[in-house]
Amino acid sequence: AIGAATDAARLQTAAQQAVALPLGDFAVNVSQLTLGARLGGGADADVYAVEHNGRPLAFKKLRLDGMSQAERADLLQSAHRDFRALRRLSHTNIVNLLGAVNDPPTSTIGLLIERADRGSLRELLNDSPAEVIGVEAVQQSLAAGIADGMAYLHANGPVLHHDLKSANVLVFTGAHGALMPKLADFGLASLVGGTTAAASTRRAGAGTAAYKAPEQFDDEMTTSSEVYSFGIVLWELLHGGRPWSGKSETFILRAVDRGQRPPVTVTDSL
């Protein structure tokens, strides 16, 4: 009983520390937001279109209801990592953090970022594949922007994103209508020491199976692992489909371990 009480106290402390974001000038009161349509989301958060002082933003709101204390603490710590990573990073191809909401009494906690007018790269490939597939200049521009953003991360710390995939690349309409990619969703990101070539970290379960390098299935992550993930994103830019579509994580693990990769069937692009 004493051990259980100690564990509960530890989790509560972790949750409190995670909630206590050093918002500073980033603090935004939830009452200042005008909530719009839901844009999407994942297992732990919903993303809404909002306005703040007339400015269109995206609000990544944590989904805290119905969680155990341990799950809540883990999610809040992930949000803390997302906030800290975006606050210290500044690059053309990394999404800008514009504010944060921290109102535990209303269970409204989340980050305010730029609103991508074209959604994620995955959404673009799903909804408007003809804008990308077979359009070499667009493919090259998107690939170069993603690579530039990842190179910046790896040169600063390095920071490992841990979950590079098309769904975590937001797409904006840039100058002259060009599509501009920006990396997003740093909830799994970690800052590691050492050189970019040798730096590694371990985080159980991090990443998405279809984009994982072989070593990630053993919970080891390096900058080279993210080059592998980038290669899978390039595959998506070529084909438009989803890598390993319909396959289970176990199937993907075994296939990747045997040296198999999603087949490349397009040769006249990129």
Q: Please give the positions annotated as active site.
A: 163
Other CB atoms within a 10 A radius of the CB of residue 96 amount to: 15
Q: Residues 6 or more apart from 60 whose CB is under 8 A from it? A: 45, 46, 47, 82, 110, 111, 112, 113
267 CA to centre of own chain:
29
Q: Residues 6 or more apart from 65 whose CB is under 8 A from it? A: 107
Tell me which residue of 14, 56, 17, 15 sits closest to 33, measured CA to CA: 56
For the chain, the C-alpha Rg in angstroms (whole number) is 19
